Amino acid sequence: MLRRPAGAWALLGPLLWGCGLALLQGGMLYPRESRSRERKELDGLWSFRADFSDNRRQGFEQQWYRAPLRESGPTLDMPVPSSFNDVGQDGQLRSFVGWVWYEREITLPQRWTEDLGMRVVLRIGSAHYYAIVWVNGVHVAEHEGGHLPFEADISKLVQSGPLSSCRITIAINNTLSPHTLPPGTILYKTDPSMYPKGYFVQNIKFDFFNYAGLHRTVLLYTTPTTYIDDITVTTDMDQDIGLVNYQIVVQGSDHFQLDVGLLDEEGKVVAKGAGAQGQLQVPNAHLWWPYLMHEHPAYLYSLEVKLTAQTAVGPVSDFYTLPVGIRTVAITERQFLINGKPFYFQGVNKHEDADIRGKGFDWPLLVKDFNLLRWLGANSFRTSHYPYAEEVLQLCDRYGIVVIDESPGVGIMLAESFSNVSLQHHLEVMEEMIRRDKNHPAVVMWSLANEPASFLKPAGYYFKTLIAHTKALDPSRPVTFVTNTNYEADLGAPYVDVICVNSYYSWYHDYGHMEVIQLQLATQFENWYKAYQKPMIQSEYGAGTIAGFHEDPPLMFSEEYQKGLLEQYHVVLDQKRKEYVVGELIWNFADFMTNQSPFRMMGNRKGIFTRQRQPKSAAFLLRERYWRLANETRYHQSAVKSQCVGNSLFTV
Ligand code: GCB
């Protein structure tokens, strides 16, 4: 998190980004209620204004954060969480680039403002892309990056006077530069015969709409002033004894006691410990298994942590409960092992994307997506192309859906985006991401980037450094990035644990010629494997398809073509998965919005579901395939049985 005066930031102008962020300090535990913690969600309507002034700096020049936003001009009602782009009728707001301002006035419970033994924290789940936050006109936080949470301790501010009301102002800039993640460039168009004065566009090198706003919950939560700041859990197995290693960081006092207990799903304590770090041993442990790999997948224990401390204001306790899945992850030259058994990623790539709300978090959508995933027989997905909401990973933990957790390193193409400034930011983003997601059993691999220009000379050093750093932060998970570079030219591939390759045979070339797919795909796998002897994942493949378009013989964009193309891929995947291919992830789970272009018809149509989550023919094809693949492993028998005979697919 970057903290520097808002004024200094504003002087840099709206379209440039600062660099050299300081490394984050402290934990980023998901805010859970407990006996010692409360939370107050600030979802709902906020006041909103986009700064359409020429330099986009009027908000800073007039200090819109100093007084209620309505006093400095007209405001709109803006829902949170949501992207701001698609909720209105204004085309200019849809494509707005620069600073937008959000504001919410709230009343705090009296206790929160009076109890000096209480810490009040403001947490912003995601603000895309650069955010500055004020409370009652006082600058409290700045953050770079659109997909990870940040916090500000606002106790002093809310406890300093008689006021129980609190005005939160958040200015957000969605501009992308060569050093942001994802990167982008601002292009000023200066030909006066074609463009008005000052005209500029935001160019991007990625294929999804650059939605912006407060995409996830904004909330306040409390802890005691001496509190559990961070918990790190790793797990292992010794025969049938589950090993849970924990490390706890406490802030606020050096004199405290920590007690931990591990509870099973029945609430029975199965192990106990004390102190800031230790190992819990669980005889006959229930392992966390992926969906369809076991009759009782996704077993979660609860790690209950109790902190007691003596402070100036008396004895203090803090309680935090963390779900824990006991599982191991390992790779060999040809396999991806979960709990020592070969795991095959039969899954999808997703986007956080839907009508109207854009990238705004939405529970009904989330539940629908998980129901579709399980209907499909998918056991995994990649968070293409950025970290998803924490609630998504929580559901993955609960349902056994395995995750390749991807950073926002998408579209790293320019030489400038491999510079030290960019690398430094990417290192910090990996820290933030690992700090947030490290305890999810569902997360089995980190993906650092999607389709970077990894053939450029600086890419070798860039990925070597980034991968080493990621492994140092988390030695327990394999690391990859997703490539579409030729196997001989890729300078980052030597450092990854698993080779993830995207290819679009018979789509972006050899249009309409599905007969070449098998040869080209087999060649792709064989070349990569010969060069690296590492397990491989087909991390993207697919075809654009307009739901309801039918052509037989198949033509591009018809449902028949999408099915036909997938079937050709599956022939080769079925051969190679017996050797070293450990997964296939379809592009994409659902249609999604992109920038406007003659190559995109209302967005990218490679979904096997429409943007409204209705199936295309390919969804049924894939469903048949995924359940058949599941059938071939021996760990899931009862799951498949219930799928075949039961009314509900979700009894597993
Ligand atoms: C890719 C990208 C993905 C695109 C997809 C496509 O290789 O990784 O972001 O959306 O191709 O449909 O072109």
The pLDDT > 90 percentage for the chain reads 91
Residue 604 CB–ligand 1 contact under 6 Å: yes
- Is the CB–ligand 1 distance for residue 144 below 6 Å? no
User: In sequence order, which residues have a C-beta less than 8 Å from that of residue 594 and are 6 or more positions away?
Assistant: 207, 208, 209, 600, 603, 604
Q: Which amino acid is at 600?
A: R
Mutate to test the pocket of ligand 1, among 502, 507, 599 (most ligand atoms within 8 A of CB): 502
Q: Predicted confidence band at 161 (pLDDT cuts at 50, 70, 90)?
A: confident
SS3 readout for 430-470: HHHHHHHHCCCCCEEEEEEEECCCCCCCCHHHHHHHHHHHH
Average pLDDT, integer, range 562-578 = 98
pLDDT more than 70, % of the chain: 93
Atom of ligand 1 nearest to the CA of 604: 12
- pLDDT tens for each residue of 461-481: 999 999 999 999 999 999 999
**pLDDT at residue 634, rounded to an integer:** 59
Indicate which residue's Cα is closest to atom 3 of ligand 1. Answer: 207
Provide DSSP, 295-335. SS-S--EEEEEEEEEEETTEEEEEEEEEEE----EEE-SS-
AA letter at 446: W
| Torsion sign, CA atoms 354, 358, 359, 365 | negative
384 C-alpha to ligand 1 centroid (Å): 10
Atom of ligand 1 nearest to the CA of 542: 12
Tell me, rounded to whole angstroms, the distance of Cα 184 from its chain centroid: 19
Reported as a single tens digit per residue, the pLDDT across 284-326 is 999 999 999 999 999 999 999 999 998 877 899 999 999 999 9
Residue 639 pLDDT greater than 90, yes or no: no
Q: Is 353 in the pocket of ligand 1 (CB under 6 A)?
A: no
172 contacts 214 by C-beta, under 8 angstroms? yes
Give me ligand 1 centre to Cα 538, in Å: 13
Res. 423 pLDDT band, cuts 50 70 90: very high
| β strands within 174-217, DSSP E | 184-188, 200-204, 213-214
Q: By C-alpha distance, which of 252, 249, 230, 228 is closest to 307?
A: 228
Query: Is 333 an annotated catalytic residue?
Result: no
Ligand 1 binding pocket includes 643 (Cβ within 6 Å): no
What's residue 613's pLDDT? 98
Residue 395 pairs with which residues in a beta bridge?
none
Average pLDDT of the residues in 434-441: 98
By most ligand atoms within 8 Å of CB, the mutation choice from 604, 605, 608, 611 for ligand 1 is 604
Partners of 152 in beta bridges:
122
Does the Cβ of 451 fall within 6 Å of ligand 1?
yes
Q: Which residue has the higher pLDDT, 28 or 648?
A: 28
Pairing of strands 118-124, 536-540: unpaired
Query: How remote is the CA of residue 606 from the centroid of ligand 1, in Å?
Result: 9
Q: Ligand 1 centroid to 505 CA: how many Å? A: 13
Distance 593 CA to ligand 1 centre (A): 12
Tokens (6 digits) for 37: 């913690």
pLDDT of 389 > 90? The answer is: yes
Residue 635 in 3-state DSSP? coil
Q: For residue 417, how far is its CA from the centre of ligand 1 (angstroms)?
A: 19
| pLDDT in the model for residue 633 | 75
* Whether the model pTM is above 0.85: yes
φ, ψ (nearest 5 deg) of residue 413: -120, -35
Taking the centre of ligand 1 as the mean of its atom positions, its distance from the CA of residue 522, in whole angstroms, is 21
Q: Residues 631-644: what's their mean pLDDT?
A: 57
Ligand 1, atom 10: nearest CA belongs to which residue? Answer: 207
- Our answer on whether the CB atom of 540 is closer than 6 Å to any ligand 1 atom is yes
Catalytic residue among 451, 540, 559, 584: 451
pLDDT recorded at residue 6: 31
Distance 421 CA to ligand 1 centre (A): 26
Mean pLDDT score across all residues of the chain: 93
**Residue whose CA lies nearest to ligand 1 atom number 2:** 207
Return the ligand 1 atom nearest residue 206 CA. Answer: 9
Distance 409 CA to ligand 1 centre (A): 14
Contact 136, 159 (CB under 8 A): no
Sign for the CA dihedral angle at 280, 283, 286, 287 comes to: positive
CA–CA gap between residue 502 and residue 236 (Å, rounded): 32
Q: What is the mean pLDDT of residues 405-415?
A: 98
Grade residue 146 by pLDDT with cuts at 50, 70 and 90: very high
318 lines ligand 1 (CB under 6 A): no
Q: Is residue 328 lining ligand 1, measured as CB closer than 6 Å?
A: no
Q: What is the mean pLDDT of residues 235-258?
A: 96
CA 450 to ligand 1: nearest atom: 8
Max CA pair span of the chain = 79
Ligand 1 pocket: which of 210, 540, 589, 606 to mutate (most atoms within 8 A of CB): 540
Choose the residue to mutate in 210, 481, 587, 600 for probing ligand 1, maximizing ligand atoms within 8 Å of C-beta: 587
User: Rounded to the nearest whole angstrom, what is the distance from the C-alpha of residue 595 to the centroid of ligand 1?
Assistant: 13
pLDDT at residue number 25? 59
Mean pLDDT of 101-122: 95
Q: Is the CB of 207 under 6 A from ligand 1?
A: yes
Yes or no: say if 174 and 129 are a contact pair by the CB < 8 Å rule. Answer: yes
pLDDT at 9 over 70: no
Asked whether 502 lines ligand 1 (CB < 6 A), one says: yes
The CA distance from 113 to 105, in Å, is: 15
Atom of ligand 1 nearest to the CA of 484: 7
| Atom 9, ligand 1: residue with shortest CA distance | 207
Of residues 224 and 644, more confidence is placed in: 224
- 507 Cβ closer than 6 Å to some ligand 1 atom: no
